[in-house]
Amino acid sequence: MVLSKAAPHSDVSVHSTFASRYVRAPLPRFRMPEESIPKEAAYQIINDELMLDGNPRLNLASFVTTWMEPECDKLIMSSINKNYVDMDEYPVTTELQNRCVNMIAHLFNAPLEESETAIGCGTVGSSEAIMLAGLAFKRKWQNKRRAAGLPIDKPNIVTGANVQVCWEKFARYFEVELKEVNLRDGYYVMDPEKAAELVDENTICVAAILGSTLNGEFEDVKRLNDLLVEKNKETGWDTPIHVDAASGGFIAPFIYPDLEWDFRLPLVKSINVSGHKYGLVYAGIGWVIWRSKEDLPDELIFHINYLGADQPTFTLNFSKGSSQVIAQYYQLIRLGYEGYKNVMENCRDNMLVLKEGLEKTGRFNIVSKEEGVPLVAFTLKDNSHFDEFQVSHLLRRYGWIVPAYTMPPDAQHVTVLRVVIREDFSRTLAERIVIDIQKVLHELDALPVRVAEAATVAVSSEDIGGDGATENIAKKTALETTREITNAWKKFVMDRKKMNGKINGVC
Amino acid sequence: MVIASATRDPEAGETLSCTFASRYVRDPVPKFKMPVRSIPKDAAYQIIKDELMLDGAPRLNLASFVTTWMEPECDKLIMDSLNKNYVDMDEYPVTTELQNRCVNMIAHLYHAPIEDDEGAVGVGTVGSSEAIMLAGLAFKRKWQTKRKAEGKPYDNPNIVTGANVQVCWEKFARYFEVELKEVKLSEGYYVMDPVKAVEMVDENTICVAAILGSTLTGEFEDVQLLNELLTKKNKESGWDTPIHVDAASGGFIAPFLYPDLEWDFRVPLVKSINVSGHKYGLVYPGVGWVVWRSKEDLPEDLVFHINYLGSDQPTFTLNFSKGSSQIIAQYYQFIRLGFEGYQNIMRNCVENAKILKEGIEKTGRFNIVSKDVGVPLVAFSLKDSSEHTVFEISDHLRRFGWIVPAYTMPADAQHIVVLRVVIREDFSRSLAERLVSDIEKVVNLLDTLPSTVHASTTSAHVTAVTNETGDKVVKKSAMETQAEIARYWRGLVKDKRTGVC
C-alpha cells in the first residue's frame, strides 16, 4: 500500500479566495506588504471593503453624474490607458476635445465667426476651470495696472457668500482677496446691487453663480451686467464678469433658453461648467470657455507644436485619462440638443413631484425656487422637537443620503435639507423618498420632546455612606442621560456641519 | 386580389438597421455645434469608436512613461468605481481611507521620519503637475512667512532647477509668479549640476528642485551631493533653503532597484517629494502623490479642514471633484504586488532595457546617451547625422507601428538630438527584439534613400529654367524641395517640449 503524502504547499491558485489565507491575514495599511498576492485575492479584498462605501446612485447630496449608458462605459474602458495630454500620439482624442469646446462655446453664444475656433479647454473639474479663469483675470488686470503705473499687489474678487469652496481655494492659493457679499434670510444668493458696491479698482472680476450650491438658484447675471456697465462708465475700471455655471451651464440653455446669462451679456468674459454635473459625464471633467482671444493673456499659454499645427495648452494638470473627454463627446452627439432638453425636463418634472410630495406632508417649507437647478431644498416648519440633522441621519437607515446644511453668513440660523435631482433619479424614486421621509417624521415624532434649557436634574436622597446620614445627590434619570447624549451628539454634528458649511464636498 | 402595400415604419427601420446600414454613418459628424437631434446609442458608440481607431496605439507609444496596461481584475475595480466622486469623504469613507493608506505606504517607502501611529502628511493628486504645484505652493508660503517675520521683502521668490526640468515646473513658475532659475546643461552632462545649482541659490530661493529620473535621459540627479553643498551654504548664509525631489518617474524605481541610493527623506534637507502613480506606480493616467516630511513643512493656512465624523480630514488639492478609480487602482497595485512584485517588475524593465540597448549598439550606428542607472529607458543618437537625422528614423518607425520620439536637448546642448524608448512594465523582451530588428530595417532603408540634409543652410541650389514664354523661372530640384520640407518640419519639432513624461 502506498501512503500518499499530502503536498505541504498546495497550489494557491486552486483555493477559492475565501478559502485562502489572504482573507485571514491583516490588511496592509501603513506599509507596503513585502510579498505579492494573487490578483483574485487583491480584487476581492478591495471589492469587499468598498461595499461599505455609500451607494453612489442613492447619494442625493451630489450633483455629479452617477450613471451612464453601457455603450459609453465601453468607450471609457477602452480609452482608460490613453494619456490625454499626448496630442501627438492621440490626435483624434485631441480633436474630440476641441469639438467639445466649440460645441459648448456655441451653446453659450460665444461671439464666434463661422469658421473661428473657440477659446477654451477641458479640465479635471470646475475647480481647475475656475483657477484658470481667475488666473487669466488676474494677469489681465496686472498688465493693465502695470501699464498705467498703478500698484498690483492687492487684487481682489467679488462673489457671494454662497460661493463654492473652490473660489476660496483660488483666492488663498493665488493670493487674491475674496470679498464676499453676505446673504440674508430669504435671499440666499449674491445681491447684484451689493456686489457692484463692493467693486473697487483692485477688483479683477465679479463672479456670479448660475446654480447656487445651496438652493439651486440662478443669480441675476443680467442685472449684475447692467449695474456693472454703469459703474464701469463712471469709474473707468473695466471690471469684467465671470459666470460660474458649474451646475447651471448645462441646464439653462435647454430649459430656459431666453434667460440671458452667457456671452450674450457683454461683460461676461469667461464661463466654466462642470461636464460631470449636468453635462452627464462621470466625475473628472469640466470646461472653461473664454469670450475671445483677448480675454486669455497669451503669456499664460504654453505652445506645443503638433506637426505643423499650433496646439496652445493652458491647464494646471498635465497627464490624465482621456476617458471623460471622450464620454463628454459621446453625450453631446448621442443626446444632442433635444436629448439634453428631454433629460433636463424630466429632472424638473421629478423635482416638482418631490416638491409637491414634501409640501403635502405639511411639515416643510420649500427654500429652493422652481427656476434653477432641479433640486429641492427644504426646512422643517417646526424644529423645536427635532431638527434637520436628525431627519438626515434617520434617512440614511433607509439607504438615502440626504445632506443637511446650515446657510453661510448672514443666514447661519437656517438649516436646510437638500435633494438633488439627477438624470437617474426617476419618478418612482421620488415617490419612494417621500414615503420614507414620512416614515422618518413619524419616528421622530415619537421621540420625547427635547428640553431647550439645561436638563432638569432630579434630586434624590440616598444613604450612600452607610452611616445613616442621608445626602442629597443629583441623580439623572435615564431619560435625561439619553437626552444629554443626544444633545451632545447633535451639537457635535451641527458643529461639524457648520465647519463643513460649503466644504460639504458635493457640489 | 389584395395588393399589399408595404408600409415602411421609419422608426422600426432605424432600430432594425445595423449601424452601418443606417443614415447615421452618412451624416456629417458634428464638430462645432451640438447636433439638434439625438441619435441611437449604438450609432454614437460606433461613430466615436471608429474615429478613435486612428489614434496611436497606447501600448506601442514608446514615448510615454505613463502606464498603458493593468490586470483585468483591476479594470473591474476601476469600472465599479467610475461613478464615485473621490472628494465625497462623507459618503465614500472607505475610498478616502484607501487614499490615506496609499499616502502612508508611500511615505514609509521614502523613509519619512514618522512614528508608527503617526499619520503621514501627503495627498493624492491628478498627476505630478498638481503635486508639484502643491509642493511649490507650500515652499512659497513658508518662505513668505519667514521673510515677513524678518521684515524683508517677499515679492521676488525664485526656484532653482536644471534646464532638463519638465514643463510643469515652468507652469508652476508662471502661474504662481515665481522666477525660474535654470542651471544650463552641457554636452555629455544632461542633468542639473549640484555645484552650479547651489551657486545660483540666493535669499529669494524658495527651494531647489532635483529630479530623480530626468525626462530626457532617465538619469537620477545626485541629491546627496546637492544636500551636502546646500547644507554648507545654508550654514554660511543663514538662509534655510530646502530641497524638493521631483521623483515623478524615479520614485517607484529607486526604492526597489537601488535601495541604498539616498535621495529621499533620509537626506535631511529634502522636505517634500512627488511621484507619479501613473508612471512606474503602474496605474492608468490620472494619479500622482505628494508627501511632505512632516507637519511643519506644510503651512496650515493652505489646508482646508473637513471633519469626518470625529477625525479631522485635512485637504489640500487644486482639483476637487474627480473620479476615485485611479486611487483604488493604486491601492490594488500596492497590495497585489507588494514590495517583491514591484521589484520584480522593475528588474524586468532593466533587463529588457539592456537587451534593447545592446541590440541598438550592435547596429554600430548609434551612440547610447542614457545611463544604466536610472529610469529604464534607452536614449540614443546617430553617430553620423550628415545624411539622415533621427527625425527621419522616428518618422519611418511610425510606419511599422512604433511611436519613438526624437527630441533636441534643452540649452546649452541644443545640438544634441536623441531618440528615446521608454521601457514600461508591458514592454516584453519579444517586443524589444522586434523593435531592434525594425530599427535595423529603417537604417538600411535610409541608406538607400538620398540624403535630405545639406551641409550648408544658405541658399539652396536653384536651377533656372525657361518656360514657354521665355521667362526664367526658378525651379527647385526635387531634392531641394525635400530638404526644405525636412528643415521646415524639423524646425517645428525642434522646440517641442517633450509632452509625455
Q: What was the pLDDT predicted at B490?
A: 54
What's the rounded Cα separation, in Å, for the pair B367 and B416? 11
Q: Which residues pair with B105 in a beta bridge?
A: none
What mean pLDDT is predicted for residues A441-460? 62
| B398 contact A CB<8A | no
* Domains of chain B and CATH, by start: 7-55 (no CATH), 74-337 (3.40.640.10), 358-453+463-492 (3.90.1150.160)
Residues of B in contact with A81 (CB under 8 A): 58-59, 67-70, 284-285
Task: Retrieve residue A377's grid coordinates.
Answer: 431644498
Write the secondary structure of A12-64 as one string of H (helix), E (strand) and C (coil). Answer: HHHCCHHHCHHHCCCCCCCCCCCCCCCHHHHHHHHHHHHCCCCCHHHECCCCC
What mean pLDDT is predicted for residues A118-141? 94
Residues of B in contact with A89 (CB under 8 A): 55-56, 58, 61, 63-64, 403, 500
**Closest Cα partner for B140 from B272, B248, B238, B319?**
B272
Phi, psi of A203 (to 5 degrees): -80, 125
Q: Which residues pair with A302 in a beta bridge?
A: A313
| B113 contact A CB<8A | no
What's the rounded Cα separation, in Å, for the pair B167 and A190? 39
Q: What was the pLDDT predicted at A469?
A: 46
- Mutate which: A32, A71, A95, A107, vs B, most B CBs within 10 A: A32
| B338 contact A CB<8A | yes
State the smallest CA–CA distance between residue B299 and chain A in angstroms.
Answer: 12
Name the residue among B63, B305, B319 with its Cβ closest to that of A127. Answer: B319
* CA A385 to centroid of chain Cα atoms: 31
Percentage of the residues of chain B whose pLDDT score is greater than 70: 85
B206: confidence class by pLDDT, cuts 50, 70, 90: very high
What's the rounded Cα separation, in Å, for the pair A80 and B79? 10
> Of A182-196, A475-489, B10-24, B441-455, which has the strongest mean pLDDT?
A182-196
| B148 contact A CB<8A | no
A433 class by beta-carbon count within 10 Å (0-12 exposed, 13-18 middle, 19+ buried): buried
Phi, psi of A499 (to 5 degrees): -70, -35
What mean pLDDT is predicted for residues A169-183? 92
Mean per-residue pLDDT over chain B, rounded? 84
Buried/exposed B428-450: b ≥16 CB within 10 Å, e otherwise? eeebbeebbebbeebbeebeeee
- Name the pairing type of β-strands A156-160 and A203-209: parallel
Check CB contact under 8 Å for A318 and B30: no
CA end-to-end span of chain B, whole Å? 76
State the smallest CA–CA distance between residue B232 and chain A in angstroms.
Answer: 32
Check CB contact under 8 Å for B36 and A90: no
Check CB contact under 8 Å for A82 and B104: no
- On whether the CB atoms of residues A164 and A180 are closer than 8 A, the answer is no
Q: What was the pLDDT predicted at B216?
A: 82
Q: Is the dihedral of CA A440, A442, A445, A448 positive or negative?
A: negative
Check CB contact under 8 Å for A124 and B319: yes
Q: What was the pLDDT predicted at A9?
A: 46
| A56 contact B CB<8A | yes
Q: What is the DSSP letter of B302?
A: G
Task: Retrieve residue B338's grid coordinates.
Answer: 507588494
Name the residue among B29, B37, B68 with its Cβ closest to that of A81. Answer: B68
Residue at grid coordinates 526656484: B159
- Name the pairing type of β-strands A268-274 and A241-244: parallel
Residues of A in contact with B302 (CB under 8 A): 172-173
- On whether the CB atoms of residues A225 and A266 are closer than 8 A, the answer is yes
| pLDDT of B501 strictly over 50 | no
In A161-240 the beta strands, taken as DSSP E runs, fall at 177-181, 203-209
Smallest CA–CA distance from B114 into chain A, residue: A30
What mean pLDDT is predicted for residues B16-32? 77
Residues of B in contact with A301 (CB under 8 A): none
Q: What was the pLDDT predicted at B29?
A: 79
Mean per-residue pLDDT over chain A, rounded? 84
Q: A residues 188-207 near B, CB within 8 Å? A: none
What's the rounded Cα separation, in Å, for the pair A140 and A269? 12
Q: What was the pLDDT predicted at B293?
A: 95
CA end-to-end span of chain A, whole Å? 74
Residues of A in contact with B174 (CB under 8 A): 299-300
- On whether the CB atoms of residues A248 and A220 are closer than 8 A, the answer is no
* Domains of chain A and CATH, by start: 87-335 (3.40.640.10)
- Mutate which: A47, A59, A65, A83, vs B, most B CBs within 10 A: A83
What's the rounded Cα separation, in Å, for the pair B164 and A305? 19
- Mutate which: B24, B75, B85, vs A, most A CBs within 10 A: B85
**Closest Cα partner for B492 from A84, A297, A91, A311?**
A311
Check CB contact under 8 Å for B90 and A276: no
The two most distant CA atoms of chain A are separated, in Å, by 109
| Predicted TM-score (pTM) of this structure | 0.84
Name the residue among A81, A90, A125 with its Cβ closest to that of B320. Answer: A125
**Closest Cα partner for B210 from B126, B297, B132, B138?**
B132
- Using alpha carbons, list the distances in angstroms from residue B239 to B202, B206, B225, B230, B359: 8, 10, 18, 10, 50
**Closest Cα partner for B244 from B124, B156, B131, B324?**
B131
A40, HSE (Cβ side, Cα atoms, 13 Å) = 10
B177 class by beta-carbon count within 10 Å (0-12 exposed, 13-18 middle, 19+ buried): middle
Q: How many helices (H) and strands (E) does chain B have?
A: 13, 15
| A19 contact B CB<8A | no
Q: What was the pLDDT predicted at A24?
A: 77
What's the rounded Cα separation, in Å, for the pair A152 and A155? 7
- On whether the CB atoms of residues B179 and B207 are closer than 8 A, the answer is no
Residues of B in contact with A49 (CB under 8 A): 94, 98
Q: What was the pLDDT predicted at B229?
A: 96
Q: A residues 80-99 near B, CB within 8 Å? A: 80-93, 96, 99
Check CB contact under 8 Å for A333 and B30: yes
Secondary structure of residue B408 in the 3-state scheme: strand
What mean pLDDT is predicted for residues B65-94? 89
Q: What is the DSSP letter of B401?
A: T
pLDDT per position as a tens digit, A25-46: 777 778 888 888 888 989 999 9
Task: Retrieve residue A166's grid coordinates.
Answer: 473652490
**Closest Cα partner for B141 from B271, B320, B247, B232?**
B271
What's the rounded Cα separation, in Å, for the pair A209 and A183? 14
What's the rounded Cα separation, in Å, for the pair A211 and A372? 6
Task: Retrieve residue A69's grid coordinates.
Answer: 449608458
Q: What was the pLDDT predicted at A336?
A: 93
Name the residue among B35, B66, B93 with its Cβ closest to that of A83. Answer: B66
Pick from B34-43, B346-355, B427-436: least confident: B34-43
A214: confidence class by pLDDT, cuts 50, 70, 90: confident
What's the rounded Cα separation, in Å, for the pair A280 and A261? 21
| pLDDT of A506 strictly over 80 | no
Task: Retrieve residue B303's grid coordinates.
Answer: 489646508
What's the rounded Cα separation, in Å, for the pair A242 and B281? 38
| A58 contact B CB<8A | no
Residues of B in contact with A36 (CB under 8 A): 336-338, 340-341, 344
Single-letter amino acid code for the residue at B196: K
Q: Which residues pair with A210 in a beta bridge?
A: A218
A17: confidence class by pLDDT, cuts 50, 70, 90: confident
Task: Retrieve residue B358's grid coordinates.
Answer: 545592446
Name the residue among B84, B322, B501 with its Cβ closest to that of A125. Answer: B322
Percentage of the residues of chain A whose pLDDT score is greater than 90: 57
Name the residue among A31, A73, A131 with its Cβ closest to that of B79. Answer: A73
Q: How many helices (H) and strands (E) does chain A have?
A: 12, 15
Residue at grid coordinates 521623483: B247
- On whether the CB atoms of residues A283 and A321 are closer than 8 A, the answer is no
State the smallest CA–CA distance between residue A100 and chain B in angstroms.
Answer: 8
pLDDT per position as a tens digit, B221-277: 999 999 999 999 999 999 999 999 999 999 999 999 999 999 999 999 999 999 999
Q: What was the pLDDT predicted at B469?
A: 44
| A490 contact B CB<8A | no
Length of chain B, in residues: 501
Q: What was the pLDDT predicted at B483?
A: 53
| B215 contact A CB<8A | no
Check CB contact under 8 Å for B30 and A99: yes
A495: confidence class by pLDDT, cuts 50, 70, 90: low
Residues of B in contact with A133 (CB under 8 A): none
What's the rounded Cα separation, in Å, for the pair B65 and B68? 9
- Mutate which: B41, B48, B315, B343, vs A, most A CBs within 10 A: B48
What's the rounded Cα separation, in Å, for the pair A84 and A323? 8
How many of the other CB atoms lie within 10 Å of CB of B461? Answer: 10
B43 class by beta-carbon count within 10 Å (0-12 exposed, 13-18 middle, 19+ buried): buried
Q: What was the pLDDT predicted at A7?
A: 42
- Mutate which: B46, B50, B55, B252, vs A, most A CBs within 10 A: B55
Secondary structure of residue A252 in the 3-state scheme: helix
Q: What angle do CA B113, B117, B120 make, to 5 degrees?
A: 50
Q: What was the pLDDT predicted at A411?
A: 80
| A28 contact B CB<8A | yes
The more confident residue out of A107 and B474 is A107
Task: Retrieve residue A345's grid coordinates.
Answer: 425636463
| pLDDT of A106 strictly over 80 | yes
| pLDDT of A505 strictly over 70 | no
The more confident residue out of A13 and A246 is A246
Q: What was the pLDDT predicted at B93?
A: 87
* CA A204 to centroid of chain Cα atoms: 25
* CA B437 to centroid of chain Cα atoms: 27
Name the residue among B67, B81, B307 with its Cβ closest to that of A500. Answer: B307
The more confident residue out of A334 and B1 is A334
pLDDT per position as a tens digit, A83-105: 888 887 888 999 999 999 999 99
Check CB contact under 8 Å for B45 and A71: yes
How many of the other CB atoms lie within 10 Å of CB of A142? Answer: 16
What mean pLDDT is predicted for residues A429-435? 94
**Closest Cα partner for A216 from A41, A340, A355, A309?**
A355
Secondary structure of residue A148 in the 3-state scheme: coil
| A310 contact B CB<8A | no
Residue at grid coordinates 469626518: B308
Check CB contact under 8 Å for A32 and B78: no
- On whether the CB atoms of residues B308 and B89 are closer than 8 A, the answer is yes
- On whether the CB atoms of residues B95 and B86 are closer than 8 A, the answer is yes
